């Protein structure tokens, strides 16, 4: 019998991601092509099957429209992923989707470079470009 088979960790579902904490701040220079970059080495979520942690350097780059994300609210939002069981590729897409919906930016890229686990590193990148009307 596999001595690890009975081991499990508490894994939260995606509904534990705290969207309500996100806030916006007015951006006074829309149309200026200002690039905003947020970078953290402390992004964590967990494997949805094992509950083992995934650690990543997360970079969010965007060109704002009329809004910026309030930084403290972004930190709390990202921290809410800590015990969420989510695939690495899904995490970047979920973050992108949530922030695009909140901010309506001109463009945005969310990139996560995960630390090595099992001898393999992973990097996932999701991007958005506003369609011109």
Q: State residue 125's pLDDT score.
A: 98
Name the E strands within the chain.
24-26, 36-46, 53-63, 67-69, 107-117, 120-129
| Active-site residue, from 10, 39, 54, 98 | 54
Active site residue 104: no
Q: State residue 4's pLDDT score.
A: 62
CA distance 133 to 56: 36
Q: State residue 117's pLDDT score.
A: 82
Q: State residue 9's pLDDT score.
A: 74
Domain boundaries, the chain: 18-129
| Active-site residue, from 10, 18, 39, 47 | 47
Active site residue 54: yes
Main-chain phi, psi angles of 21, to 5 degrees: -75, -20
pLDDT tens-place values along the chain, 133 residues long: 566 666 667 899 999 999 999 999 999 999 999 999 999 999 999 999 889 899 999 999 999 999 999 999 999 999 999 999 999 999 999 999 999 999 999 999 999 999 998 899 999 999 999 987 6
The domain 18-129: what is its CATH number? 3.30.1130.10
CA distance 130 to 39: 22
């Amino acid at each position: 019998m596999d001595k690890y088979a009975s081991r499990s960790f508490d894994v939260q579902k995606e509904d534990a991601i705290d969207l309500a904490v996100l806030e916006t701040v007015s951006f006074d220079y829309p149309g200026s092509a200002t690039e905003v970059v947020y970078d953290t080495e402390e992004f964590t979520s967990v494997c949805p099957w094992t509950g083992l942690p995934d650690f990543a350097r997360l970079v969010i780059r965007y060109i704002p429209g009329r809004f910026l994300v309030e930084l403290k609210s972004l930190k709390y939002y990202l921290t809410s992923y800590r015990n969420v069981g989510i695939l690495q590729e899904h995490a970047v897409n979920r973050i992108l989707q949530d922030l695009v919906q909140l901010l309506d930016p001109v463009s945005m890229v969310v990139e996560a470079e995960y630390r090595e686990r099992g001898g393999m590193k992973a990097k996932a990148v999701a991007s958005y470009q506003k369609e011109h009307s």
